[in-house]
Structure formats: structure tokens, C-alpha cells
Chains A and B, each alone.
Chain A
Amino acid sequence: MKEHKASPHTVFNPAYGLTSVTGSSIVTNSASIQSWNVEPQIKWEKEWGKANLNILVGTTFQQRQTSQVSISGEGFQNNSQILDVFAANEITDGDDQESKYNYNAIFGRLNFKWAGKYIMNLTGRRDGSSRFGPGRQFGYFGAVGAAWIFSEETFLENHGLLSYGKFRTSYGVTGSDNIGNYGFYNTYETSDGNYNGPIVLPEKLFNPTFGWEETRKFEVGLELGFLNDRVLFTTAWYRNHSSNQLLGIPLPGTTGFNSVNANFDATVENTGLEIDFRSVNIKNTHFNWTTTFNISMPKNKLIKFDGLEHSIFANKYVVGQPLNIKKLYHMTGVDPETGVYQFEDYNKNGEIDPGDLSEDRQWIEDTAPKFHGGLNNIFNYKNLSLELFFQFKKQRGADVFYNSKNPGGFSNQHVFVLNRWQQDGDETSVQRYTIGESVEGREVMSAYANYENSNARYTDTSFIRLRNVSLSYAIPKETASGLGVRVYLQGQNLLTITKSLKADPEHSSATALPILRHFTLGLELSL
């Protein structure tokens, strides 16, 4: 891929008096990715009476190489030369990078079926990745699974209501090498800086010993079909434990850097329940009505973290709590006498301690969604079709003041700021105006700084949204002389039900442009 960004001097204000020699510049960039993947497999299958055995052995070789060269130039005799970076008076910046990733795996799978209703599955694999140092490249992983198609059992045969039933469960360990290439090497990088010539600097702390990150997965599932599968219901519950995560572990400055790549000895649990439902409510010659519904309830939790209180994460995580929590000040209101936000002094030392690690930040707010999902209804009547899709999400999040300024600050603000404290005795939820000047103003300002990190900014940002409505009509072929003609009207983001004051409850920022409401009128022709 090749690209460039040319900035002739004419893009600037003529008042600057630039010419192509002083003001024109170009950045060129050429990048390529080459990847290949070879995956030979051998499969063996055998049946003895009711038994069926299926064995698969295979290997994967995968390579991914990327390279990028970028060159910047400034100053051209004439703007007509601007696309030739080497015509520039000065080459101002250049960069030449390449990166290679190799991956290799051997794997085997054994699948055993009995009478078409009892299923056993065993898999094992050895994964190798070039992202790990000597002796650490390979990891061994495997899984075991079982399923029972109970609708095949004789006692359920010819059951009028239940047409399909399957119970499944599995347990396994998978590996991840999700960390940058070459991380285990002790390297120097050339810097943009200069000291009597070019310089090189140590790139990072090196750790040649990190290896595969492991996740233990357990899952149970149930699949049911009723009334000849007109009603389908599937549900699954999973629990994953991730340990030894690959990440940059924070270190004190005395090490020379602020982190090192390593396997992190903490365990995170992800659990969740997922339900899918599909029903053909009405089905006859001219009219069909189908409903689909899905909901997921994901949850995560930190279950082990030794030495958390002595780590940089002390202000961020709590064992037993989700990872998305925020530790905040607890705002108790606006003092009717001073007009300044008040906070709970958790450590009872007589002041609200500042800083990320403040002991007064004990209020826990979980910003992960509790559940989310969608409901879709499709109605077909002859050639006319109507589709309605609702989306919903239950969550808490930062409300309108997020990304905003202090009351009294010079910026656009929500109108509720007008309801501020103004005189002794005012009972209100917004503190007095300040621009932070003067000693007193700075105190009001620092109360605002605490407010920004307080629970007061978090509210219920749940919503139900009519995401999509589409009405279409297919003109019968006879009428359209054999052509396929479809006319449709589509509306997106038509209705949002929420308590949140934000422009868009889905967006973390209160002031970002919300999803736009779209209407589309279309005509589709096909031969």
C-alpha cells in the first residue's frame, strides 16, 4: 500500500506569506503485509455398528511480515514537484520498519459418537510462537467435551412438543501470545534526538522469560427445538479463568523504566449467560411473523492478585470486584453555607486527600453493562415486509459533566449548571461558579477536581433504542416485466428511551456527536 499526504503552501492562510519553498511539504508512506498459512491435515474415520470414531491430526505454519517506509520532505521549488519527495529541499523525517511473526502448531482431535446421541471430543495441541524467547516458544493446550442429544432417546421419540434437545459441556485450556513481536530481545532503538551525531537508547527492560498466557474455559449449553423447530431456544453459561496475563507490569522508577513485559500473576474470572430465542409466531401462505431475541449477561471479577495494595493498581482494582470499577470520592452535596461540593472523608483525617491513590476514594462504581441484547420482529405480508429492531443495555456511566468544565468555566455547558449555588442558604446540587482565580477560587476549583472523580458524575445510563425500522415492498415480477424490483424505506435510531441526560447514552463522552438519525429511501433492481 502506498499513500501520501501533500500540503502545498496554498493550504495556509495567504497572510502568512508562505511560498512553495517555505511552506510546502509532503509525507509519503509505503507499507506492505505479506502473510501465508499452510495447514496440512490428516483425517481418519471408522464406524463399527453404532460407534463412530473420527481422528484428525494436523499442523499449521503461519508467517506474517510487515514493512513500512515513510519519508517526509519540506520545501519545493514549485508545487508541481510536490509528489516527488526527493525533489524536496530537505528530507525532514524518515522511518523504515519491519516486523516478522511466525507461528506453528501441531494439533490432534479425537471425536467419538455412539448411536448418534452420545458425543465425546478430545483435542490437544502444541502451539509455538516467535513472540517468546528461547525455551518459551511452545505451549501445550487441550480440551475435553461431551454432548448428549437427548431428543434421540426412545423415551422422547415422537414427543409432540420437543423436536430437538441437546446438552453439551466442555472444559479446556487455550493459550494466547497477544504481545508485540520481539518483546523478549534486549534491544536499542535509534532516537529522533541527536547529540553530536545520531544516538541510540535502550528500548525497554528486557525479560526473556515470559511465555504463553493461559485461559481455562468451562462451558455448559442447552439447545432446544419445539414444534418442529418453529421455536428454537439456546442458552449457554461459561466461566473462563485467565491467569498469567501477558502485559506490561508497572515497576518503580528505580528500574529505569515504568514497566516490563511479563506474565502477570493475577487471575480474572469471566462468567456469563447467553440466551438466544427464535420463534416463528405465525406462518401461513400470505403472512409470516418471526421474533428473535437475544440477551447476554457478562460479568468479570478479579479473583486473585497478590500484593494488590502495594501495586500501581491499588486505586484501580479490588479483589472480588469487576475490572471496570472506578474508585471514587463520595460526594455528599453542596454546602449551603460555602457553596462548595462536600465529600466523605473515608480515612477520617480531616481532609479530602488528593491524588489517584487517595484513601478517600472508596466509593466503587461499576461501569460494565449488567446485560444487553436485542429484539427483532419481522412481519411479511405477501410482498410487503416490515422489520423492527430494538436494542437495550443496562449500565451505569459518567453523565453530562464528563469532558465538561467547572461551573463558571469558559465553555459550553449543560443548562442545569444555571441551578448553581449563589448565596448563603441555597440548597442545590451544583456548586458556585469559579474560574479558579484567587486563593478561594482555587479551593472551589479543587472541589471541582474531586467532583470529577466522584460518584456524583455517575448515573444510570441504561437505554432502550429503536435501532432500525425497515419497510420494503418487492414489486411482483410479472408487473415489473421480469425484473427484480424492491422499494424500501429505512429508518435508523428513531427512538431512545433513557433517564440519562447525555446526548447519547451509548457513548462514554457526554458531548460527542451522538449516532445520527438516518432515513433511507431506496430502490433495488436485479436481473
Chain B
Amino acid sequence: MRFKYRDTVPYQWFFILNFRGCNLLNLTILMGSLTACTDFVEVDLPKNQLSAASIFEDALVTETAINGVYYQMRTNGLISGDGLSVSMGLYTDELDYYKLGREEPLENYQNHTVRSNDLIVANLWNSAYTQVYTVNAILDGVENSVNLTSEEKDQFKGEALFVRSYLHLLLAELFGDIPYIKGIDYEVNKAVTRIPRVLAYDDIIADLILAVDLLPDEDISEERIRPYASVAEAVLARAYLYTQQWTLAEAMADRVITKFGALEPDLSKVFLKEASGTIWQFKPNADGDNTNEGTNFIFTIGPPSNIAMSDLLFGAFESGDLRQSSWVKEVSNTANTETWCHAFKYKEQSNTGSSVEYSIQLRLAEQYLIRAESRAHLGDISGAQADINAVRNRAGLDNTAAVTLNELLDAILQERRVELFTEQGHRWFDLKRMGKATEVLGAIKPNWKDIHMLLPVPDKELTLNPNLLPQNNGY
């Protein structure tokens, strides 16, 4: 805790000059002394505050500003480990919610009773646009910087553009038509309109292409904790996949796979901070901290107090799938009469002295599955099978038996389900994209309606900016 400021008045000077019947001369002297007053009411910033302009005149300080957005994304919002991994896990068939009895916002995700005044929706939306502001401010500052070299500018601009496009991609998948925010002028941003999802993707892809171009090929952070070209390429591959541009998606995923090579063979090493298949990850706050995912998902005694993996997901693993034993953990109650399970990709629930796990945002396995899906659509059956098998074989499973396009797509959806579970809402995006949401969720969620394909725009946003109307259908 910290003390609050207390008011005291240690000393004060006060005097009044009182002239009776003064002459003109005195008056001019007085007026003369007043000309300095414009300077007097201009004060400089105090030492603990940094002017925006001063930040971007030094590469090391600019780095503390760009690291600010990774801090924001790791701590709050879409990809924080408290974000889509949890809410969309409940919204689909990955997680079950156990904190029943009171009006808990997450329960609305489990039950499909999300409304436009939902607090989590508001947070997903607002935190994403706060993060977009942070990177737009960096783009603005770097652009106007005198001292930064052009290589430094490229690096920072590439990172900022990558973050901006990735956040908008996730927003477009959740909300459909969204405003694409490219500047920091609040007069503009307070009255923005929503652009159709397809046009938002034009902006997303344009920003990602620019980011790939500007970012260095190699990771300068040495821990893959700041974006470099492959990071933007990995999201670009996903953007092409989500917009069904198979050739481009295949080529982009191929570029990432070529650079990284084969998958890490040992499942138990996939979620360690030095895992070879990690493309991008968030470094924890302090050394010894681990991930939000670990904190959220792990519980040591049943029944679960918060969330647990659903029986449906646990049952979705084929027999012999090593991921079921390596990335899932069963927990029983004290009497040993009942069991539940939880995602166990991250093994550490709390501090470990020296950090062993970072929150992984992009993994190589996803790129294999993106390439598999693109190849299937392009008619490259054996290529698609090979990529599916790369993921299956690592998990101790036989080669896939899928041959036709539909079989391959089903195999890919299944593989994504058991490979990418509880990671940043993949399952939801996959069900939506492959047209399976109604079929899969309609069967298990009594409140399911087709309008649930999109989340509602926060009602407060619509009130404050009527240009965002209309609300998504059905809310």
C-alpha cells in the first residue's frame, strides 16, 4: 500500500503594495512587470512524465513503449490467457463452468446468454482498441521522429502494424463488421463506422504484408517475445485461410514451416519457453512468473471451483493420442469417487523461482494444419495428408485415413480440436469458418441460435457512437 498525499502549507509569502494617489509612472512600472506573464503560465513537464515526442527520439525508450503493448496484451483482453482461451472455450465445447449460483459473467458464455451489456464483451472490445491505440501512437511517434534510424523505424513500425492487424483480425472474427482504427485522433475515432468484414480483411492483410516487409527475418529478442517476419507471416497465413485464399495461405504457411522445420517431437516440451515450435510468445511479468493459462486452467482437487475441461473434449481424443495423457490432467475429489480434467498444456500454476513457461501465441503445428487445409482445397491430397500426419504422428497416432476433400476437412477440424484446444479461441473460429457451429453447438447448447455466430457490440459503444449501429442481428 502507498500513502496518499496529505495537504500541508509549510510557508507562504504574501504582501500588498498599497499606494494612495499614485502617478502614471508607478502604473507603467507595474504594467511593465506583467509582460513576462505568458512565460510564467507555461510550465514544463515534471521529471516523472515523458512527453510523447521525447519517447520516439531514442530507440531504447521507444522499445519500452512497444513493450508496453505486449504487456497490455499479455495482461488483459483477447489473447491474454484470461481472454478468448476461457470465454470462447466455454462458448464452444471445450470447457465447462462450475462457478454456478451467482450471476457470473462467464456463465453467459457457457449458456449462450450473452447480451449487449455483457462485461466480458465490453472488455474484449475496449482492451483491443486500447491496444490498437497504443500501437497507432507508436506509428505516429516513430513516423515523426528525427533521431531514429530508418532500420529502427522499420522494426517498430513492423511490430505496430502486426499488432494492429492481428487484433483487428480477432475482432472481425468475433464481431463481424468492425471499425478499422488507423490513427490516434479521437475526434475521428469517436465517430467511426463499421466496415464489412471482407473490407476489414483487406486492411488486415495489407497491414500484415507491410509488417512482413518491415520486420527483420530473425528474432531480435532471442526469446521470440517480440514479432519478427515469421510472426507476421504466421498470422498472414491464418488471414488467407480465414478468407479462403488457399494458394496464398499454402504459400505463407509453407514459408513459416520451411523456416522452422519439423515439429518438436516431444509433446512435453511443446509448451516450455524454449520450445522449438514456438513462433511467438509473451514473456511473463517477473522472472519466476509463468502463464495466466496455467493459473486459470489448473486445479488440484475436485470438484472444480471455476472451470474444467468438458467431457466432450476429453472424449474427442482418439485412443492412443499421447496429447490426452500429456496435455490433459485428470483430478479427482478427496473421496476419490469422481474425476474431472483440465487443460495441462502449461504445467505451472504459480511462481517457480525462474520462469519455465511463457504464454505461447503462435505455434508451428497450426501452420502445418493451415497448409493441410489449403492443400486439401487445392486438390493436393497427399500433401494435405502429409501435414495432418505430421501432427498426428507426433501425438503417437497413425496416418490419417481421410482421402476426399470432405474427409480431409473433417480430419483437419478434429486435429485442430485436439491440438489447439484452449488456445486463444481456435475452436470457435474453426467451427464458424467450417460451417459446423450450428451442427456441433446446436446439439449441446439448449440456448443456441444462429445469431450467436457473432457477439454483440457493447451497448455502451452504440450509445456513445451511433455510427456503429446497427447492432448485430438478434441482440
A residues near B (Cβ < 8 Å) are 1, 3, 5, 27, 29, 31-45, 57, 59, 61, 66, 68, 70, 72, 93, 95-104, 106, 128-130, 132, 134, 137-138, 181-182, 185-191, 193-203, 205-207, 250-258, 260, 310-312, 314, 354-357, 436-437, 442, 445-446, 449
- Specify which of B2, B17, B48, B125 is in contact with A40 (CB 8 Å cutoff): B17
Cross-chain pairs A/B with CB under 8 angstroms, 9 sampled = A5-B3, A42-B17, A42-B19, A45-B21, A59-B37, A104-B40, A138-B38, A195-B70, A202-B133
Q: Is B401 an interface residue (CB 8 A)?
A: no
Residues of the B chain whose Cβ atoms lie less than 8 Å from the Cβ of A33 = 7-10
Given contacts A39-B14, A185-B51, A253-B126, contact A446 B103 (CB under 8 A): yes
Expressed in whole angstroms, the minimum distance between the Cβ of A206 and any Cβ of chain B is 8
A57 touches B126 (CB 8 A): no
The residue in chain B whose Cβ has the minimal distance to the Cβ of A199 is: B68
The residue in chain B whose Cβ has the minimal distance to the Cβ of A96 is: B48
- Specify which of A35, A97, A188, A256 is in contact with B184 (CB 8 Å cutoff): A256
Interface core residue of B15, B68, B115 (most chain A CB under 10 Å): B68
Residues of the A chain whose Cβ atoms lie less than 8 Å from the Cβ of B464 = 250-252, 310-312
Residues of the A chain whose Cβ atoms lie less than 8 Å from the Cβ of B103 = 436, 442, 445-446, 449
- Specify which of A100, A196, A256, A310 is in contact with B129 (CB 8 Å cutoff): A256
Residues of the B chain whose Cβ atoms lie less than 8 Å from the Cβ of A255 = 129, 133, 186, 189-190
Residues of the A chain whose Cβ atoms lie less than 8 Å from the Cβ of B55 = 188, 200
Q: Is B463 an interface residue (CB 8 A)?
A: yes
B50 touches A187 (CB 8 A): yes
A34 touches B11 (CB 8 A): yes
The residue in chain A whose Cβ has the minimal distance to the Cβ of B60 is: A197
B1 touches A27 (CB 8 A): yes
Chain A binder among B26-34, B149-157, B207-215, B238-246: B26-34
The residue in chain B whose Cβ has the minimal distance to the Cβ of A68 is: B5
Given contacts A93-B2, A128-B37, A314-B463, contact A198 B64 (CB under 8 A): yes
The residue in chain B whose Cβ has the minimal distance to the Cβ of A3 is: B3
B16 touches A39 (CB 8 A): yes
A44 touches B34 (CB 8 A): no
Residues of the B chain whose Cβ atoms lie less than 8 Å from the Cβ of A36 = 12-13
B190 touches A254 (CB 8 A): yes
Given contacts A36-B12, A96-B48, contact A253 B18 (CB under 8 A): no
Residues of the B chain whose Cβ atoms lie less than 8 Å from the Cβ of A187 = 45, 49-52
Chain A binder among B301-309, B333-341, B453-461: B453-461
Given contacts A37-B14, A187-B51, A193-B75, contact A252 B8 (CB under 8 A): no
Residues of the A chain whose Cβ atoms lie less than 8 Å from the Cβ of B226 = 196
Q: Is B196 an interface residue (CB 8 A)?
A: no
Q: How large is the interface on B (under 10, 10 to 19, 20 to 34, 35 or more residues)?
A: 35 or more
B52 touches A130 (CB 8 A): no
Expressed in whole angstroms, the minimum distance between the Cβ of A342 and any Cβ of chain B is 20
Interface core residue of B6, B43, B101, B115 (most chain A CB under 10 Å): B43
**Proximity bits, B122-135, A CB within 8 Å = 1, else 0:** 10011001101110
A70 touches B3 (CB 8 A): yes
Q: Is B117 an interface residue (CB 8 A)?
A: yes
Q: Would you list the 7 A-B pairs with minimal beta carbon distance, nearest first?
A: A256-B133, A253-B126, A29-B3, A195-B67, A252-B464, A186-B52, A195-B71
Residues of the B chain whose Cβ atoms lie less than 8 Å from the Cβ of A195 = 67-68, 70-71, 74, 225, 282-283, 285
Q: Is B468 an interface residue (CB 8 A)?
A: yes
Expressed in whole angstroms, the minimum distance between the Cβ of A485 and any Cβ of chain B is 37
**Proximity bits, B90-134, A CB within 8 Å = 1, else 0:** 000000000001110000000000010100001001100110111
A197 touches B102 (CB 8 A): no
B10 touches A196 (CB 8 A): no
- Please measure, in the bound complex, the distance between the C-alpha atom of A185 and the C-alpha atom of B468, giving whole angstroms: 30
Residues of the A chain whose Cβ atoms lie less than 8 Å from the Cβ of B184 = 256
Residues of the A chain whose Cβ atoms lie less than 8 Å from the Cβ of B71 = 191, 193-195, 199, 201
A130 touches B34 (CB 8 A): no
Q: Is B439 an interface residue (CB 8 A)?
A: no
A34 touches B13 (CB 8 A): no
- Please measure, in the bound complex, the distance between the C-alpha atom of A359 and the C-alpha atom of B403, giving whole angstroms: 56
Given contacts A194-B285, A256-B184, contact A44 B21 (CB under 8 A): yes
Expressed in whole angstroms, the minimum distance between the Cβ of A79 and any Cβ of chain B is 19
A254 touches B181 (CB 8 A): yes
A251 touches B10 (CB 8 A): no
Residues of the A chain whose Cβ atoms lie less than 8 Å from the Cβ of B460 = 252-253, 312, 357
A38 touches B64 (CB 8 A): no
In B408-448, which residues have CB < 8 Å from any A CB?
none
Residues of the B chain whose Cβ atoms lie less than 8 Å from the Cβ of A138 = 38, 41
- Please measure, in the bound complex, the distance between the C-alpha atom of A194 and the C-alpha atom of B64, giving whole angstroms: 9
The residue in chain B whose Cβ has the minimal distance to the Cβ of A67 is: B46
Q: Is B20 an interface residue (CB 8 A)?
A: yes
The residue in chain B whose Cβ has the minimal distance to the Cβ of A66 is: B5
- Please measure, in the bound complex, the distance between the C-alpha atom of A152 and the C-alpha atom of B206, giving whole angstroms: 84
Residues of the A chain whose Cβ atoms lie less than 8 Å from the Cβ of B12 = 35-37
Expressed in whole angstroms, the minimum distance between the Cβ of B29 and any Cβ of chain A is 10
- Please measure, in the bound complex, the distance between the C-alpha atom of A453 and the C-alpha atom of B285, giving whole angstroms: 40
Expressed in whole angstroms, the minimum distance between the Cβ of B389 and any Cβ of chain A is 37
Residues of the A chain whose Cβ atoms lie less than 8 Å from the Cβ of B38 = 128, 137-138
- Please measure, in the bound complex, the distance between the C-alpha atom of A27 and the C-alpha atom of B2, giving whole angstroms: 7
- Specify which of A27, A129, A449 is in contact with B41 (CB 8 Å cutoff): A129
- Specify which of A193, A202, A357 is in contact with B117 (CB 8 Å cutoff): A357
Given contacts A104-B37, A199-B68, A311-B463, contact A256 B134 (CB under 8 A): yes
Residues of the B chain whose Cβ atoms lie less than 8 Å from the Cβ of A253 = 122, 125-126, 129-130, 458, 460-461
Residues of the B chain whose Cβ atoms lie less than 8 Å from the Cβ of A182 = 43, 45-46, 49
- Please measure, in the bound complex, the distance between the C-alpha atom of A129 and the C-alpha atom of B41, giving whole angstroms: 5
Q: Is B179 an interface residue (CB 8 A)?
A: yes
Expressed in whole angstroms, the minimum distance between the Cβ of A424 and any Cβ of chain B is 26
- Please measure, in the bound complex, the distance between the C-alpha atom of A356 and the C-alpha atom of B5, giving whole angstroms: 34
- Please measure, in the bound complex, the distance between the C-alpha atom of A517 and the C-alpha atom of B74, giving whole angstroms: 54
B19 touches A43 (CB 8 A): yes
Expressed in whole angstroms, the minimum distance between the Cβ of B289 and any Cβ of chain A is 9
B14 touches A106 (CB 8 A): no
Q: Is B65 an interface residue (CB 8 A)?
A: yes
Expressed in whole angstroms, the minimum distance between the Cβ of B469 and any Cβ of chain A is 10
- Please measure, in the bound complex, the distance between the C-alpha atom of A132 and the C-alpha atom of B64, giving whole angstroms: 29
- Specify which of A35, A57, A96 is in contact with B30 (CB 8 Å cutoff): A57
Expressed in whole angstroms, the minimum distance between the Cβ of A432 and any Cβ of chain B is 17
Given contacts A39-B16, A98-B48, A187-B52, contact A254 B34 (CB under 8 A): no
Q: Is B258 an interface residue (CB 8 A)?
A: no
A185 touches B49 (CB 8 A): yes
- Specify which of B3, B20, B30, B221 is in contact with A196 (CB 8 Å cutoff): B221
Residues of the A chain whose Cβ atoms lie less than 8 Å from the Cβ of B376 = none
- Specify which of B15, B18, B21, B137 is in contact with A38 (CB 8 Å cutoff): B15
In B157-196, which residues have CB < 8 Å from any A CB?
179, 181, 184, 186, 189-190, 192
**Proximity bits, B47-83, A CB within 8 Å = 1, else 0:** 1111111010000010111011011101100000000
Residues of the A chain whose Cβ atoms lie less than 8 Å from the Cβ of B221 = 196
Expressed in whole angstroms, the minimum distance between the Cβ of B75 and any Cβ of chain A is 7
- Please measure, in the bound complex, the distance between the C-alpha atom of A363 and the C-alpha atom of B132, giving whole angstroms: 40
Expressed in whole angstroms, the minimum distance between the Cβ of A123 and any Cβ of chain B is 17
- Please measure, in the bound complex, the distance between the C-alpha atom of A446 and the C-alpha atom of B103, giving whole angstroms: 9
